[in-house]
Structures are given as C-alpha cells and as structure tokens.
Amino acid sequence: MKRTDPQRSRRPLVAGPALILFGVTLALLGWTGVSRAQTGGVSGTVTSLGDSDFFIGVQKVQGVNLSDVDKSRFLNHASCQCHRPVWLKAILNASSAGKAQLLAGTDTVTMKVGVGCNQMIYYPTCPTLQTMPLSQFRLSGMLVETSVDVLAKPYGTATNAVSGTVLGTGGSTGTGGVVGTGGVDGTGGGGTGGSTATEVTTATDPCAVGDAFSQPVWVFVETTPGLLDAGSASLNIVIDGTPPPAPSPVTVTGANEALIVDWTSVNNNNSVPDLQGYQIFCSRADQYQVFKDGTFSTSVDSCPLTDAIYPTTNPDAGTAPVPMFATDLDPQALINGNTHYICSDFLSTSTTSHRVQILQNGIQYGVAVASVDTHGNYSLAFSSPVYTAPVPTLDFYHQYRNADPQGQAMGGCSVGGRATGGAALSSLAGLALVVGALRKRRSGRSS
C-alpha cells in the first residue's frame, strides 16, 4: 500500500487565478463589508456631512477666493449700490471626499441664502441660488454667480417677522336650554375673535445705509429637496454698509490761493475702531469740479452715478459730475457722485488739519471732510458744507504798491504803532535823508 507523506498533507492550498483576481478587485474597490449601491454611492452608516466637510468661498473675480480682509473691503455699501457681481464657490474638502462617497450620488446639493434656512419653516422662504446632483458636486463643486445687492436682501426669518397678537379664534356656540314645562329656551354662547396680526415693514432698498449684518450662505445635501437630511454647511457673509460719523465741527480759513481746513477727530477713545482716515472734498462755486479725476490718492469706494441706478431730475447724471451739494438729487446718489470732487490725498487718522492749494483767490469753494472706514465706506456732512474764498496775502510791499493813494501803506516799518499815511511818508523821508548822509560821508573819505 502506498503511504502518504504527512508533510505533503500539510501543504497550504494555492489560490487559483480566479480567486486572486477576486481579491484584487475587492482591494481596488475599497470593500468595507457593505454592498455598493447602483446610484454610484456606497451605502453605509454615515448619515450627514457638516461644516468641516465643505469649503465655501467668496470671489470678486471668478476663480480667486477673497481673504477675510479683502471680503470686508469688497462687501460694502458701494458694492451693493453698484450691483457688483460676486461668485460663491462651494466644494468638498479633500479629507471629506471618501466620506461623501458613502452618500448616494442621486442626493441633491442645494445652495441657499438667508437667515434660518436650516429650519423647515423658513427653508421655503430662502431663495435657491443653484442645485445639482451630489455625483456632479463631488467632481467639481458648485460655482454660483450672483450680486452683492442680492446677498444684502432679507431672507428667511427676516421676511417672516410679525408683530401684534395672533389671529384669534371665535368662541363656541352655546347650547340651547332644555324645553320644559314653562321653561325658556337657552341662549347660545358667544366668542370674541382675536386681533389681526401685523406684518413688520422691512426696507425696500437692501442697499440703504445701515448697520453691518451677517447673511448666511447655506449648502444642503438632501435625499429629497427640503428634507435637510444628508448634511449642511454655512458661511456667514458680513456686509458693512455703515460709514463712520462725519467730522464736526469743520472750519475753513482763507489763505493765498489756498484754504486751511481744520476738523475734530471722530476717533476719540477709539470710538470708531474701523476708521481708516479722512478725505477732503471741495467744489468751485458749488458747481464745478476743481481737480481732475485721479489727481489724489483715495481709499473711498464709490459707485458711479447713473440714472439707471439713481433716477434723478438731473439730465446729465451719469455722463458728467453733478453739483456736489445739489438739492435735486437723492442723498445716496450725491454720496456716490462726489468722488469727482476729491481735493486731497488720503489722510491718516491722526490728521486734523490740511491745506488745499492751487485755488483761485476771491472764488467761493464749498468744502466738506469725510471719514473713511476700512471697508471704503465714507460719510459727508452735505447739510452743512463750509463756504470760504482764498484771499491774497497782504504784506508791506503789497500794501505800499496797491494802497490808494499809492504809498499809503498800513503797518510795516513805522514807529509808535499803526502808521497813518503821513507817518508812513515821514518815515520814508527820514530814511532817505539817512541814506543820503551816509553816501556823502563815503564820497568825502574817498576824495
């Protein structure tokens, strides 16, 4: 009988080609013990994505995400009034790509904007900026083009605020009395209706000057839009439309072909922490631009004045500078049209006096000083511009040459205080006698 080698009976089994191929396939698929769904995602235990799984960026130029400092500069009053375009970019963080694969590719990714959009009651009142399947979002993310004024509008809870009492319910009807011998029918009961609710009135202009506020931008991942069941993330976008207070008081003193402008700092005790500096504005005879555009440096951010944005009674609006202190234009239109009237370089927060030069003597100029914040917002006191004319400097020579009659100089080289016309002439005659005597003595010595 043939004996079996005990060592050979313990030899391990060698996997066949089919088994090896199956193992390699499982490794490539990243098998975790669960089956792959037909939708392209893998069914698992992950139920939602959160803030840490997304990046949401703000772009002034498509493709370039703004830093926090640049966002604060861009999202201001002028950008809102100009309807400047803005792009919102949402993508998955690289570390969350695998986590997102555990969700079905047919899930919907939706971007919305507004306060409280993650609550079912307010979700429908928040406008949808864009929607796409999760399978597409995983590949390239989402890029939405909108404008700053759209982001500045009230949505969500801000559009549903009410005041007053809730509409009341009428009282129950009473039950009639029991009919009896000699009895009287009962009287029906009565109820009093509640008061009608009053809706809060919100500003119709989303770009009106107001306090800075935070507008959330949301990204929702949902099996069905509106369920809020597969994840969400948000980014609070701060839009600052409030300029700093205008300096007051402002005084203007005439100088030779110049004006000396003085004002009181608005940043006492750091009361305006985002103050960046000051800018002086002026107009000639309350109508004309004094210096060409671009003459001075500025940090003021302004929206060009156009009739399309600001309907006015001025037919030239949008094509030429309008009067700086005109009364027939909307105040906000004035603010944004005044960059034509800049009359100084941008001045630091420590500056409280400046000389505006290259002006014309004898011409009235309207002058205002603006405070400018770090967002480019600025404030002007349009209601009280200061009007002053430059004046020539009057020295002794000027007085002597231009007095009537000529030579009647007031002040200057005189003895005993203010000189009269005769005193001035006597002083000059005496000076001539002294000079003549000195010349005579020198000529005598030379001979």
Q: Using one digit for the tens of pLDDT, what is the confidence trace for 302-355?
A: 876 543 333 444 444 444 555 555 544 444 444 455 678 899 999 999 999 999
SS3 at position 109: strand
Contact 287, 270 (CB under 8 A): no
**Which two structure tokens, joined as six digits, stand for 122?**
């307010």
CB neighbours of residue 17 within 10 Å: 7
Q: How far is CA 237 from the centre of its chain?
A: 11
Q: Which helix (H) or strand (E) element contains residue 140?
A: helix 134-140
CA–CA separation, 277 vs 345, rounded Å? 10
Percent of the chain with pLDDT strictly greater than 90? 44
pLDDT of residue 438: 53
Segments making up each domain of the chain, as ranges: 46-160+202-239, 250-388, 398-446
pLDDT of residue 72: 92
pLDDT averaged over the chain? 74
CA–CA separation, 90 vs 39, rounded Å? 23
According to CATH, what is the number of the domain 250-388?
Answer: 2.60.40.10
Query: Quick one: which of 418, 417, 419, 439 has its CA closest to 427?
Result: 419
- Does the pLDDT value for residue 219 go beyond 90? yes
How open is the CA angle 426-431-437, to the nearest 5 degrees? 125
User: Which letter, b or e, does each residue of 373-399 get, where b requires 16 or more Cβ atoms within 10 Å of its Cβ?
Assistant: bbbbbbbbbbeebbebebeeeeeeeeb
CA–CA separation, 124 vs 118, rounded Å? 10
Q: Which residues have CB under 8 Å from 269's CB, separation 6+?
A: none
Greater model confidence, 2 or 80: 80
- Does the pLDDT value for residue 427 go beyond 90? no
pLDDT of residue 175: 54
- Does the pLDDT value for residue 436 go beyond 50? yes
Which runs of E-coded beta strand occur in 223-364? 232-239, 250-255, 258-263, 275-284, 353-357
pLDDT of residue 77: 87
pLDDT in tens, 176-207: 555 555 555 555 555 454 444 333 334 467 88
pLDDT of residue 441: 57
**Which two structure tokens, joined as six digits, stand for 431?**
């000076």
Contact 281, 338 (CB under 8 A): yes
**Which two structure tokens, joined as six digits, stand for 423?**
């005193």
Strand order, beta sheet including 232-239:
128-133, 108-113, 213-222, 232-239
Q: Which residues have CB under 8 Å from 385's CB, separation 6+?
A: 286, 324, 325, 366, 367, 368
Query: Quick one: which of 144, 80, 167 has its CA closest to 377?
Result: 80
User: Which letter, b or e, does each residue of 158-190 get, where b requires 16 or more Cβ atoms within 10 Å of its Cβ?
Assistant: bbeeeeeeeeeeeeeeeeeeeeeeeeeeeeeee
Q: Which residues have CB under 8 Å from 144's CB, separation 6+?
A: 87, 88, 89, 90, 111, 129, 130
- Does the pLDDT value for residue 394 go beyond 50? yes
pLDDT of residue 252: 96
Contact 86, 147 (CB under 8 A): yes
For residue 405, say if its preceding peptide bond is cis, omega within 30 degrees of 0.
yes
pLDDT in tens, 398-425: 666 666 665 555 554 443 334 444 444 4
Contact 72, 238 (CB under 8 A): yes
SS3 at position 195: coil
pLDDT of residue 432: 53
- What predicted TM-score, i.e. pTM, was given to this entire model? 0.65
Strand order, beta sheet including 250-255:
250-255, 258-263, 353-357
**Which two structure tokens, joined as six digits, stand for 228?**
């809020």
Query: Quick one: which of 256, 391, 417, 401 has its CA closest to 409?
Result: 401
CB neighbours of residue 9 within 10 Å: 7
CA–CA separation, 376 vs 298, rounded Å? 9
Query: Quick one: which of 295, 383, 307, 374 has its CA closest to 339?
Result: 295
**Which two structure tokens, joined as six digits, stand for 217?**
């931008």
